[in-house]
Amino acid sequence: MARFYTDENFPFPVVEFLRVFGHDVLTARDAGKANLKIPDENVLAFATIMER
């Protein structure tokens, strides 16, 4: 299954849907990075480091 990283703008019902089907989804909230207004470039860099 796929590994995803979602920022705080990604709809949580979709996260739940993906998890039901066995995908590994790490949210910004789970990673302690919610509501920090992190630039998209940094979100992508974090996701890349985490291999998501």
pLDDT at 21: 98
pTM score, whole prediction: 0.89
pLDDT at 34: 93
Whether 34 and 28 have beta carbons less than 8 Å apart is answered as yes
What distance in Å separates the CA atoms of residue 5 and residue 8, rounded to the nearest whole number? 10
pLDDT at 43: 96
Q: What's the sign of the alpha-carbon dihedral 13, 43, 45, 33? A: negative
- pLDDT, tens digit, 9 for 90 and up, residues 5-41: 999 999 999 999 999 999 999 999 999 999 999 999 9
pLDDT at 3: 98
Q: What's the sign of the alpha-carbon dihedral 41, 35, 25, 20? A: negative
> Please, where are the H alpha helices in the chain?
12-20, 40-49
pLDDT at 39: 95
